[in-house]
Amino acid sequence: MNKIEILKSNLPHVAGILGKHEYFNSAVLIPIVFIDGEYQILFEKRSANIKQGGEICFPGGRIEDADNDAVDTALRETHEEIGLSLEKINVIGKLDILFGPRGVLVEPIIAEVKIKNLNELTLDKSEVEKVFFVPLSYFENNEPERFNIHTSITHKSFNSKGEEEELIFPNNHGNDTYYKDIREVLVYKTNNEIIWGITARLVYEVVKKLKIV
């Protein structure tokens, strides 16, 4: 077998994500509830004492080795965080994988949730301060605000022993900044909370799917 044949036999049948294991791999559930005569999206507000405390998010978290797939992760985390039983969740599909800042990879799972009110949920107060609904129509009728965040990466190199070592990149021109980026951030301002970042981006993608006829 020549090198081309070896290479061909070892290529993936379906392209994956190169270096996926280097990211924080996570999954979230986007819960849509029909209540009070219209569809609503269920959100969480993180407890103040955890990472990114006080931010609005969807239930979810790290994909663990024991999880069969991202759907398992989203369902498990949803049950742990807000006590939603699996028989009340009807998974309808997935959005595209989202690459967030700081090495985060998010697999979004969309589900119809069968509850009549928020009293049916049991919150893990160590992680979730509160849950609330926002009508889906609000996002359909209101475009998000858009902001640009400027980021840069400066290089500091370490060898395999953990020792700092100078590494010269081509075309550095004597500047320590190796990479600059401008990232657009979406923001929805509701009556009570500000929904932004990854959560806002996922909401925006849901709304885009609803506009496809």
Cβ distance 199 to 43 under 8 Å? yes
pLDDT per residue, tens digit, the chain (213 aa), is 799 899 999 999 888 888 888 889 999 999 999 998 999 999 999 988 877 778 999 999 999 999 999 999 999 999 999 999 999 999 999 999 998 877 899 999 999 999 999 999 999 999 999 999 999 999 999 999 999 887 666 666 777 777 777 666 665 555 555 556 678 899 999 988 999 999 999 999 999 999 886
**54 φ, ψ to 5°?**
85, -10
Distance of alpha carbon 22 from the chain centroid: 16
| Interatomic CA distance for residues 138 and 191, integer angstroms | 11
pTM (two decimals): 0.85
For residue 102, which of 58, 147, 52 has the smallest C-alpha distance?
A: 52
Number of other CB atoms surrounding residue 27 within 10 Å: 28
| Interatomic CA distance for residues 57 and 129, integer angstroms | 11
Tokens of 40: 């609503």
Cβ-count burial of 173 within 10 angstroms (0-12 exposed, 13-18 middle, 19+ buried)? exposed
Pseudo-torsion of CA 112, 73, 43, 34, nearest 10°?
Answer: 10
Tokens of 57: 């998010």
Maximal CA-CA distance, the chain: 66
Cβ distance 38 to 136 under 8 Å? yes
**92 φ, ψ to 5°?**
-110, -10
**15 φ, ψ to 5°?**
-60, 135
Pseudo-torsion of CA 111, 113, 119, 121, nearest 10°?
Answer: -50
Domains and CATH numbers, the chain: 21-140+191-210 (3.90.79.10)
For residue 101, which of 184, 178, 29, 18 has the smallest C-alpha distance?
A: 184
